[in-house]
Amino acid sequence: MSLDKARLLLIQAERDLEIGCFDKAASAAYMAARMAAEVLLRSLGQRGIPRRDDKLARAVANLGMRPEAEELMRLYEVRKRADYSRYPVDAASASDCVRAAGRLVESFVSRVTRGAGGRPGGGRT
């Protein structure tokens, strides 16, 4: 996983919005945020990145990023609806997901570039 791939998925989500593919936009937005979260955890030395989405969000929360973790889970819930529900994601929800994912990606990138973020012990959790 890489930040470049996360950014690419975010661009694709924006393009999906433009052409009315709202389910795809919501799904790609979540995956962009998830990939950026995984990069953040790896950059802080965490081994064994959780596969389950709720556990990944908990790992983000454990970094003192509870609002980001909650937002990640909210995006995951919309992604499940986009990918598995018979009901489509509407334009407003998809747009909200793309904006939220953009904020999350930038927040995670900022934390990666700050490194340990001032935590004792090199930021390892």
Cβ-contact 105, 79 below 8 angstroms: no
What burial class does residue 93 get, using C-beta atoms within 10 Å of its C-beta: 0-12 exposed, 13-18 middle, 19+ buried? middle
**Structure token digits, residue 13:** 């989500």
Cβ-contact 95, 30 below 8 angstroms: no
At 71 the pLDDT is 97
Candidates 42, 51, 39, 54; CA nearest to 6 is: 39
Return the domain boundaries, the chain: 3-117
pLDDT by position in tens, the chain (length 125) = 689 999 999 999 999 999 999 999 999 999 999 999 999 999 998 888 999 999 999 999 999 999 999 999 999 999 999 999 999 999 999 999 999 999 999 999 999 888 644 443 333 33
Q: How far apart are CA 25 and CA 6, in angstroms?
A: 13
The domain at 3-117 falls in which architecture?
Up-down Bundle (1.20)
At 114 the pLDDT is 83
At 94 the pLDDT is 98
